[in-house]
Amino acid sequence: GAVVSQHPSRVICKSGTSVKIECRSLDFQATTMFWYRQFPKQSLMLMATSNEGSKATYEQGVEKDKFLINHASLTLSTLTVTSAHPEDSSFYICSAINRDSYGYTFGSGTRLTVV
């Protein structure tokens, strides 16, 4: 079945630094990638939608200059959290849409801790 590989699974970084999270679709072409953030005991909140080769569309309240999304190819999308602060600590998870079939494939998630 369709697989999305997400790395890293866990990362601890110092406040003020940047962290890059990668999502790769391993066996299909992902035309669209969604990036979600999930705080403890809360739901998945959509941050942005990225389409291959175009700028990401951010949800209201999400700072596009802080959360940089790049979807340079049909198999790779990245989320960079710039100038991270402790309040950015969360579980970040991507979800890809397979161009050839309907369905959402989730990455395994990244637990970001900013200290």
Stretch touching another protein by CB under 8 A, among 11-19, 38-46, 61-69, 77-85 = 38-46
Candidates 2, 46, 74, 76; binder of another protein (CB under 8 A) is 46
Give the integer Cα–Cα distance in Å for 68 and 96.
17
Question: Could you say whether residue 5 binds another protein (CB under 8 A)?
Answer: no
* Cα 109 to Cα 11, 100, 101, distances in angstroms: 11, 24, 22
Binding mask 79-108 for another protein (x = CB under 8 A): ------------x-x-x-x----xxx-xxx
Which of 20, 74, 109, 113 binds another protein (CB under 8 A)? It is 109
Residue written as token pair 């340079």: 72
Backbone angles phi, psi at 86, to 5 degrees: -55, -35
Residue 28 CA to residue 14 CA, distance in Å, equals 35
Which residue, 108, 89, 104, is CA-closest to 37?
A: 89
CB 9 within 8 A of CB 112: no
Stretch that binds another protein, among 12-20, 30-38, 71-79, 81-89 (CB under 8 A): 30-38
Which CB, 32 or 82, lies closer to another protein?
32
Positions in the binding site for another protein (CB under 8 A): 31-32, 34, 42-46, 49, 91, 93, 95, 97, 102-104, 106-109, 111
